[in-house]
Structure 1
Amino acid sequence: MKRTFENPLIGDTVHFTKFAHEPGGSATIIDVELKPGGGNGLHFHKTMAEQFECLEGIVSIQVGKLVRQLKPGETATAPAGSLHRFFNASAEPAKFRVTIDPGHVGFEHTLKIAYGLAADGLMTKSGMPKKLWHMGTLIRLSDTNVPGLFSLLQRPMAWLAQRALDDGRYEKELKPYTD
Protein backbone atom coordinates (compact mmCIF):
# COMPACT_ATOMS: atom_id res chain seq x y z
CA MET A 1 0.00 0.00 0.00
CA LYS A 2 1.41 3.35 -1.05
CA ARG A 3 2.06 5.71 1.87
CA THR A 4 3.92 8.71 0.42
CA PHE A 5 2.35 11.27 -1.92
CA GLU A 6 3.90 14.38 -3.45
CA ASN A 7 2.08 17.40 -4.79
CA PRO A 8 4.20 18.64 -7.74
CA LEU A 9 2.32 21.96 -7.88
CA ILE A 10 3.22 23.04 -4.37
CA GLY A 11 6.23 20.79 -3.73
CA ASP A 12 4.85 19.32 -0.50
CA THR A 13 4.95 15.66 0.53
CA VAL A 14 2.69 13.71 2.87
CA HIS A 15 3.61 10.35 4.35
CA PHE A 16 0.95 8.30 6.09
CA THR A 17 2.63 6.89 9.19
CA LYS A 18 -0.65 5.28 10.27
CA PHE A 19 -3.97 4.87 8.51
CA ALA A 20 -7.13 4.94 10.63
CA HIS A 21 -7.91 1.26 9.99
CA GLU A 22 -4.49 0.01 11.13
CA PRO A 23 -3.84 -1.40 14.61
CA GLY A 24 -2.78 0.92 17.41
CA GLY A 25 -5.85 3.08 17.92
CA SER A 26 -8.17 4.87 15.57
CA ALA A 27 -5.99 7.90 14.76
CA THR A 28 -4.68 8.89 11.34
CA ILE A 29 -1.03 10.01 11.54
CA ILE A 30 0.57 11.95 8.70
CA ASP A 31 4.08 13.39 8.37
CA VAL A 32 4.11 16.52 6.20
CA GLU A 33 7.12 18.10 4.50
CA LEU A 34 6.20 21.72 3.84
CA LYS A 35 8.28 23.98 1.63
CA PRO A 36 8.90 27.64 2.53
CA GLY A 37 5.74 29.64 1.87
CA GLY A 38 3.56 26.52 1.86
CA GLY A 39 0.44 25.97 3.92
CA ASN A 40 -3.32 25.94 3.80
CA GLY A 41 -6.17 28.36 4.41
CA LEU A 42 -8.32 28.73 7.51
CA HIS A 43 -10.81 25.90 7.88
CA PHE A 44 -12.39 23.64 10.48
CA HIS A 45 -13.52 20.05 10.88
CA LYS A 46 -16.71 19.19 12.75
CA THR A 47 -15.81 15.60 13.59
CA MET A 48 -12.09 15.47 14.35
CA ALA A 49 -9.27 17.21 16.18
CA GLU A 50 -5.78 17.72 14.76
CA GLN A 51 -2.60 17.74 16.81
CA PHE A 52 0.47 19.21 15.15
CA GLU A 53 4.00 18.31 16.27
CA CYS A 54 7.01 20.01 14.69
CA LEU A 55 9.69 17.48 13.69
CA GLU A 56 12.18 19.70 11.79
CA GLY A 57 12.43 23.42 11.08
CA ILE A 58 9.69 25.81 12.19
CA VAL A 59 6.01 25.41 11.36
CA SER A 60 3.38 28.03 12.19
CA ILE A 61 -0.01 26.91 13.47
CA GLN A 62 -3.01 29.19 13.79
CA VAL A 63 -5.91 28.09 16.01
CA GLY A 64 -8.59 30.75 16.23
CA LYS A 65 -6.74 34.06 16.36
CA LEU A 66 -3.65 32.62 18.11
CA VAL A 67 -0.60 31.94 15.90
CA ARG A 68 2.26 29.87 17.30
CA GLN A 69 5.60 29.04 15.74
CA LEU A 70 6.45 25.47 16.66
CA LYS A 71 10.04 24.26 16.92
CA PRO A 72 11.01 20.57 16.98
CA GLY A 73 9.24 18.74 19.80
CA GLU A 74 6.58 21.42 20.32
CA THR A 75 2.89 20.74 19.71
CA ALA A 76 -0.38 22.57 19.15
CA THR A 77 -3.91 21.19 18.96
CA ALA A 78 -6.87 22.31 16.88
CA PRO A 79 -9.95 20.85 18.62
CA ALA A 80 -12.90 19.73 16.51
CA GLY A 81 -14.84 22.80 15.39
CA SER A 82 -11.93 25.22 15.76
CA LEU A 83 -10.82 27.44 12.90
CA HIS A 84 -7.19 26.58 12.10
CA ARG A 85 -4.43 26.41 9.51
CA PHE A 86 -0.74 25.58 9.18
CA PHE A 87 1.93 27.40 7.20
CA ASN A 88 5.67 27.73 6.78
CA ALA A 89 6.72 31.38 7.12
CA SER A 90 10.42 30.48 7.34
CA ALA A 91 12.99 30.32 4.54
CA GLU A 92 13.68 26.63 5.24
CA PRO A 93 11.53 23.53 4.71
CA ALA A 94 9.57 22.31 7.73
CA LYS A 95 8.50 18.81 8.68
CA PHE A 96 5.66 18.15 11.08
CA ARG A 97 3.35 15.36 12.17
CA VAL A 98 -0.42 15.66 12.18
CA THR A 99 -2.42 13.28 14.35
CA ILE A 100 -6.10 13.25 13.42
CA ASP A 101 -8.32 11.94 16.19
CA PRO A 102 -10.48 10.10 15.62
CA GLY A 103 -8.85 8.86 12.44
CA HIS A 104 -10.68 9.82 9.29
CA VAL A 105 -10.63 7.60 6.18
CA GLY A 106 -12.32 10.33 4.12
CA PHE A 107 -9.54 12.77 5.01
CA GLU A 108 -6.95 10.15 4.03
CA HIS A 109 -8.71 9.66 0.67
CA THR A 110 -8.90 13.42 0.13
CA LEU A 111 -5.12 13.82 0.38
CA LYS A 112 -4.50 10.89 -1.95
CA ILE A 113 -7.01 12.23 -4.49
CA ALA A 114 -5.81 15.85 -4.32
CA TYR A 115 -2.14 14.92 -4.72
CA GLY A 116 -3.06 12.50 -7.53
CA LEU A 117 -5.07 15.16 -9.36
CA ALA A 118 -2.12 17.56 -9.04
CA ALA A 119 0.29 14.96 -10.41
CA ASP A 120 -2.04 14.33 -13.36
CA GLY A 121 -2.40 18.03 -14.24
CA LEU A 122 -6.02 18.21 -13.10
CA MET A 123 -5.47 21.10 -10.67
CA THR A 124 -4.97 24.78 -11.35
CA LYS A 125 -1.61 26.40 -10.57
CA SER A 126 -3.15 27.69 -7.33
CA GLY A 127 -3.90 24.10 -6.27
CA MET A 128 -7.66 24.03 -6.90
CA PRO A 129 -9.30 21.14 -8.79
CA LYS A 130 -10.27 22.13 -12.33
CA LYS A 131 -13.70 20.47 -11.95
CA LEU A 132 -16.15 21.84 -9.35
CA TRP A 133 -17.46 18.40 -8.50
CA HIS A 134 -13.89 17.31 -7.71
CA MET A 135 -13.65 20.20 -5.24
CA GLY A 136 -17.04 19.34 -3.77
CA THR A 137 -16.01 15.72 -3.34
CA LEU A 138 -12.74 16.65 -1.61
CA ILE A 139 -14.55 18.98 0.79
CA ARG A 140 -17.24 16.42 1.52
CA LEU A 141 -14.86 13.49 2.05
CA SER A 142 -12.54 15.41 4.37
CA ASP A 143 -15.11 17.15 6.59
CA THR A 144 -13.40 20.42 5.67
CA ASN A 145 -15.46 23.54 6.27
CA VAL A 146 -14.42 27.09 5.45
CA PRO A 147 -15.49 30.43 6.87
CA GLY A 148 -16.69 33.49 5.02
CA LEU A 149 -17.99 33.87 1.50
CA PHE A 150 -16.66 30.54 0.25
CA SER A 151 -18.87 28.76 2.79
CA LEU A 152 -21.88 29.74 0.65
CA LEU A 153 -20.56 27.47 -2.11
CA GLN A 154 -20.21 24.41 0.09
CA ARG A 155 -23.83 23.31 -0.20
CA PRO A 156 -23.95 23.46 -4.03
CA MET A 157 -20.57 21.70 -4.20
CA ALA A 158 -21.83 18.98 -1.83
CA TRP A 159 -24.77 18.51 -4.21
CA LEU A 160 -22.36 18.17 -7.16
CA ALA A 161 -20.34 15.62 -5.16
CA GLN A 162 -23.47 13.59 -4.40
CA ARG A 163 -24.44 13.58 -8.09
CA ALA A 164 -20.95 12.32 -8.97
CA LEU A 165 -21.31 9.51 -6.41
CA ASP A 166 -24.76 8.63 -7.72
CA ASP A 167 -23.87 8.60 -11.43
CA GLY A 168 -20.56 6.72 -11.10
CA ARG A 169 -18.13 9.55 -11.89
CA TYR A 170 -16.54 9.27 -8.45
CA GLU A 171 -15.90 5.54 -8.89
CA LYS A 172 -14.46 6.08 -12.37
CA GLU A 173 -12.40 9.27 -11.93
CA LEU A 174 -11.46 9.68 -8.25
CA LYS A 175 -11.74 6.32 -6.48
CA PRO A 176 -8.69 4.90 -8.31
CA TYR A 177 -6.49 7.45 -6.54
CA THR A 178 -7.47 5.94 -3.17
CA ASP A 179 -6.39 2.37 -3.94
Structure 2
Amino acid sequence: MTWHTPTALPPLPGSAPASVPGEPCAQPSAQAFRDVMAHLPAGVSVITTDGIHGPAGMTASAVCSLSLDPPLVLVCVDNNSRTLVSIRDHGAFAVNVLRQDQANLAKDFADRDTDQHKRFSAASCRHEADGSLVLNGALAWLSCQVEDTYPGGDHTILTGRVHALGYTHSQPLIWYSRRFHALA
Protein backbone atom coordinates (compact mmCIF):
# COMPACT_ATOMS: atom_id res chain seq x y z
CA MET A 1 0.00 0.00 0.00
CA THR A 2 1.24 3.50 -0.80
CA TRP A 3 0.52 6.23 1.70
CA HIS A 4 0.08 9.77 0.50
CA THR A 5 0.46 12.93 2.47
CA PRO A 6 -2.88 14.74 2.47
CA THR A 7 -3.12 18.09 0.76
CA ALA A 8 -2.76 20.72 3.45
CA LEU A 9 -2.96 24.45 3.92
CA PRO A 10 0.24 26.34 3.15
CA PRO A 11 2.74 26.42 6.04
CA LEU A 12 2.85 29.37 8.39
CA PRO A 13 5.37 32.06 7.41
CA GLY A 14 8.88 31.02 8.40
CA SER A 15 8.09 27.30 8.67
CA ALA A 16 8.73 24.52 6.19
CA PRO A 17 6.11 21.91 5.34
CA ALA A 18 6.62 18.46 6.88
CA SER A 19 6.41 16.91 3.41
CA VAL A 20 5.24 17.82 -0.05
CA PRO A 21 1.49 17.21 -0.47
CA GLY A 22 0.65 14.30 -2.73
CA GLU A 23 4.10 12.68 -2.64
CA PRO A 24 4.35 9.11 -1.36
CA CYS A 25 5.63 8.84 2.19
CA ALA A 26 6.62 5.96 4.42
CA GLN A 27 3.88 4.13 6.28
CA PRO A 28 3.41 5.92 9.61
CA SER A 29 5.06 4.27 12.59
CA ALA A 30 2.96 3.22 15.57
CA GLN A 31 4.61 5.98 17.63
CA ALA A 32 3.92 8.66 15.00
CA PHE A 33 0.29 7.51 14.84
CA ARG A 34 -0.01 7.68 18.65
CA ASP A 35 1.57 11.14 18.63
CA VAL A 36 -0.95 12.45 16.11
CA MET A 37 -3.93 10.80 17.84
CA ALA A 38 -2.85 12.43 21.13
CA HIS A 39 -4.09 15.68 19.57
CA LEU A 40 -7.66 14.39 19.35
CA PRO A 41 -9.49 15.24 22.59
CA ALA A 42 -11.75 12.48 23.84
CA GLY A 43 -14.11 11.86 26.71
CA VAL A 44 -12.94 9.28 29.24
CA SER A 45 -15.08 6.25 30.07
CA VAL A 46 -14.71 3.12 32.14
CA ILE A 47 -16.10 0.02 30.45
CA THR A 48 -17.42 -2.48 33.02
CA THR A 49 -18.89 -5.95 32.97
CA ASP A 50 -19.60 -8.69 35.48
CA GLY A 51 -18.28 -11.92 34.01
CA ILE A 52 -18.03 -15.43 35.38
CA HIS A 53 -14.80 -14.48 37.17
CA GLY A 54 -16.32 -11.39 38.79
CA PRO A 55 -16.28 -7.73 37.83
CA ALA A 56 -13.94 -6.50 35.12
CA GLY A 57 -13.32 -3.01 33.82
CA MET A 58 -10.98 -0.81 31.84
CA THR A 59 -10.53 2.83 30.90
CA ALA A 60 -11.40 3.72 27.31
CA SER A 61 -11.43 6.82 25.15
CA ALA A 62 -12.40 5.03 21.90
CA VAL A 63 -16.16 5.18 22.53
CA CYS A 64 -18.81 6.79 20.33
CA SER A 65 -22.47 6.70 19.43
CA LEU A 66 -23.18 4.56 16.38
CA SER A 67 -26.94 4.61 15.79
CA LEU A 68 -30.08 6.18 17.19
CA ASP A 69 -32.49 3.59 15.82
CA PRO A 70 -31.72 1.17 17.31
CA PRO A 71 -29.55 2.89 19.93
CA LEU A 72 -26.04 1.49 19.44
CA VAL A 73 -22.62 2.45 20.76
CA LEU A 74 -19.18 1.49 19.53
CA VAL A 75 -16.29 0.65 21.87
CA CYS A 76 -12.76 -0.34 20.84
CA VAL A 77 -10.96 -2.74 23.21
CA ASP A 78 -7.37 -4.01 23.08
CA ASN A 79 -7.28 -7.65 21.98
CA ASN A 80 -5.10 -8.50 25.00
CA SER A 81 -7.51 -6.93 27.50
CA ARG A 82 -8.80 -9.15 30.29
CA THR A 83 -11.96 -7.05 30.22
CA LEU A 84 -12.59 -8.10 26.60
CA VAL A 85 -12.58 -11.76 27.66
CA SER A 86 -15.14 -10.99 30.39
CA ILE A 87 -17.34 -8.99 28.01
CA ARG A 88 -17.35 -11.87 25.54
CA ASP A 89 -18.24 -14.33 28.33
CA HIS A 90 -20.98 -12.14 29.80
CA GLY A 91 -22.34 -10.70 26.54
CA ALA A 92 -22.97 -7.31 28.15
CA PHE A 93 -21.10 -4.22 29.26
CA ALA A 94 -21.67 -0.72 30.59
CA VAL A 95 -20.08 2.50 29.38
CA ASN A 96 -19.48 4.81 32.35
CA VAL A 97 -18.61 8.36 31.27
CA LEU A 98 -16.39 9.93 33.92
CA ARG A 99 -16.71 13.33 35.59
CA GLN A 100 -13.81 15.79 35.59
CA ASP A 101 -13.02 14.92 39.23
CA GLN A 102 -12.67 11.17 38.52
CA ALA A 103 -9.17 11.11 37.00
CA ASN A 104 -7.91 8.79 39.76
CA LEU A 105 -10.64 6.30 38.89
CA ALA A 106 -9.60 6.49 35.23
CA LYS A 107 -5.97 5.86 36.22
CA ASP A 108 -6.91 2.86 38.39
CA PHE A 109 -8.88 1.22 35.57
CA ALA A 110 -6.15 2.01 33.00
CA ASP A 111 -3.28 0.45 34.97
CA ARG A 112 -2.61 -3.04 33.57
CA ASP A 113 -0.74 -3.94 36.77
CA THR A 114 -3.76 -3.23 38.97
CA ASP A 115 -5.89 -6.35 39.35
CA GLN A 116 -9.64 -6.19 38.79
CA HIS A 117 -10.48 -6.62 42.49
CA LYS A 118 -8.39 -3.59 43.44
CA ARG A 119 -9.86 -1.52 40.61
CA PHE A 120 -13.37 -2.13 41.88
CA SER A 121 -12.47 -1.68 45.56
CA ALA A 122 -11.97 2.04 44.85
CA ALA A 123 -15.29 2.32 43.00
CA SER A 124 -18.86 2.13 44.18
CA CYS A 125 -20.97 0.04 41.76
CA ARG A 126 -24.50 -1.20 41.30
CA HIS A 127 -26.20 -3.75 39.09
CA GLU A 128 -28.94 -2.49 36.81
CA ALA A 129 -32.08 -4.55 36.16
CA ASP A 130 -30.51 -6.01 33.00
CA GLY A 131 -27.48 -7.21 34.99
CA SER A 132 -24.99 -4.61 33.83
CA LEU A 133 -22.48 -3.25 36.31
CA VAL A 134 -22.60 0.56 36.55
CA LEU A 135 -20.27 2.88 38.45
CA ASN A 136 -22.12 5.07 40.94
CA GLY A 137 -21.30 8.73 40.46
CA ALA A 138 -20.46 8.52 36.76
CA LEU A 139 -21.41 11.54 34.68
CA ALA A 140 -23.43 9.28 32.38
CA TRP A 141 -23.82 5.56 31.77
CA LEU A 142 -25.10 3.19 29.11
CA SER A 143 -26.03 -0.43 29.76
CA CYS A 144 -25.43 -2.50 26.62
CA GLN A 145 -25.83 -6.01 25.25
CA VAL A 146 -23.12 -6.98 22.77
CA GLU A 147 -24.69 -6.67 19.33
CA ASP A 148 -21.64 -7.58 17.26
CA THR A 149 -17.84 -7.67 17.24
CA TYR A 150 -15.43 -6.83 14.45
CA PRO A 151 -11.66 -7.19 14.12
CA GLY A 152 -9.86 -3.86 14.17
CA GLY A 153 -6.12 -4.53 13.99
CA ASP A 154 -4.81 -4.90 17.53
CA HIS A 155 -8.26 -4.03 18.90
CA THR A 156 -11.74 -5.53 18.77
CA ILE A 157 -14.61 -3.24 17.85
CA LEU A 158 -17.66 -3.94 19.99
CA THR A 159 -21.09 -2.66 19.11
CA GLY A 160 -23.53 -2.58 21.96
CA ARG A 161 -27.30 -2.20 21.93
CA VAL A 162 -28.27 0.25 24.65
CA HIS A 163 -30.94 -1.12 27.01
CA ALA A 164 -30.74 1.42 29.82
CA LEU A 165 -29.02 4.75 30.39
CA GLY A 166 -28.74 7.69 32.72
CA TYR A 167 -26.86 10.91 33.31
CA THR A 168 -26.19 13.64 35.83
CA HIS A 169 -25.30 17.29 35.43
CA SER A 170 -21.57 17.79 35.81
CA GLN A 171 -18.47 18.34 33.67
CA PRO A 172 -16.71 15.51 31.76
CA LEU A 173 -13.16 14.27 32.13
CA ILE A 174 -11.21 14.81 28.90
CA TRP A 175 -8.10 12.97 27.63
CA TYR A 176 -5.90 15.21 25.49
CA SER A 177 -2.16 15.24 24.78
CA ARG A 178 -1.65 12.24 27.10
CA ARG A 179 -3.11 14.03 30.13
CA PHE A 180 -6.47 14.45 31.80
CA HIS A 181 -8.19 17.82 31.44
CA ALA A 182 -11.42 19.53 32.40
CA LEU A 183 -13.46 21.74 30.12
CA ALA A 184 -12.58 25.42 30.52
Q: Same fold (TM over 0.5)?
A: no
- Rg comparison, structure with higher value: 2
TM-score by length of 2: 0.24
TM-score by length of 1: 0.24
- Larger strand share, 1 or 2: 2
